């Protein structure tokens, strides 16, 4: 009878989810539109209107209300926690230690809560303010924020799963 070492790849999959979530969060925080409408675009940083007479976009600072600033802050803090968790997970994987996985999972849950709060706050306050009196839709920047949050949820799950290696007896026939 031969013992076979079985390694569970959960921390590696969790790290991959963290890196993906961080990249998506950066893209969501970048100057990408979160809301589009006819001749109107709103990102976290600026709101732009297309003037029909000159066909030129005129933009101004979008951080004019507290809820927009809070959305940016919550997303940014979530990103910082995500990057810190990714670095800790990478260090932990390189050392072959799994003792930080539960801590990483807990911190990732905090990042999930921050991003969920930001995304829900943005949608509720935007609709509540009725900034636009025309048809509008949430754009790809907002969707990427949700994608980041979904990958964070996946990372949290993988860091909470048992990840230690174990030896299992297996019959190997030659």
**Percent share of the chain, pLDDT over 70:** 86
Q: Is 146 inside a domain boundary?
A: yes
Residue 172 — very low, low, confident or very high, per pLDDT cuts 50/70/90? low
For the segment 32-46, the average pLDDT, to the nearest whole number, is: 86
The parent domain of residue 158 ranges over 2-35+66-170
- pLDDT recorded at residue 60: 87
Please give the mean pLDDT across all residues of the chain: 86
For 37-55, letters b (16+ CB in 10 Å) and e give beebbbbbbebeeeeeeee
CATH number at 13 reads 1.20.140.150
Contacts of 43 (CB under 8 A, 6+ apart): 31, 32, 33, 34, 62, 141
For 91, 98, 171, the CA distances from 94, given in Å and listed in that order, are 5, 10, 31
Q: How many domains does the chain have?
A: 1
Contacts of 53-62 with C-beta under 8 Å, sequence gap 24+, read none
pLDDT for the residue 103:
95
Q: With a cut of 60, say whether residue 5 has pLDDT above it.
A: no
Name the token pair of 145: 């924020």
DSSP bridge pairs for 33: 43
SS3 100: coil
Q: Which of 9-13, 33-37, 38-42, 81-85 has the lowest mean pLDDT?
A: 38-42
Question: HSE of 85 in the Cβ direction (CA atoms, 13 Å)?
Answer: 34
89 domain-assigned: yes
Q: Take residue 12 and report the two structure tokens written for it.
A: 């590696």
Tens-place pLDDT, residues 60-83? 888 888 999 999 999 999 999 999
> Is 106 within the bounds of a domain?
yes
pLDDT of residue 133: 64
Prediction pTM value: 0.85
Is residue 53 included in any domain, yes or no? no
Domain assignment present for 144? yes
Q: Specify if 57 maps to a domain.
A: no
């Amino acid at each position: 009878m031969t013992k076979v070492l079985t390694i569970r790849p959960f921390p590696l999959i969790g790290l991959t989810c963290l890196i993906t979530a961080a990249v998506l969060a950066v893209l969501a925080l970048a100057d990408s539109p979160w809301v589009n409408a006819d001749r109107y675009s709103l990102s976290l940083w600026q709101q732009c209107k297309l003037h029909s007479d000159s066909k030129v976009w005129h933009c101004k600072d979008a951080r004019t209300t507290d809820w927009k600033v809070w959305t940016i802050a919550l997303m940014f803090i979530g990103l910082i926690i995500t990057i810190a968790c990714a670095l800790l997970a990478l260090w932990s994987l390189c050392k072959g230690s799994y003792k930080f996985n539960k801590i990483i999972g807990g911190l990732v849950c905090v990042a999930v809560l921050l991003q969920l709060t930001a995304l829900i706050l943005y949608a509720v306050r935007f609709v509540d303010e009725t900034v636009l009196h025309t048809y509008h839709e949430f754009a790809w920047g907002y969707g990427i924020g949700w994608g980041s949050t979904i990958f964070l949820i996946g990372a949290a799950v993988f860091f909470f799963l048992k990840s230690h290696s174990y030896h299992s007896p297996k019959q190997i026939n030659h």
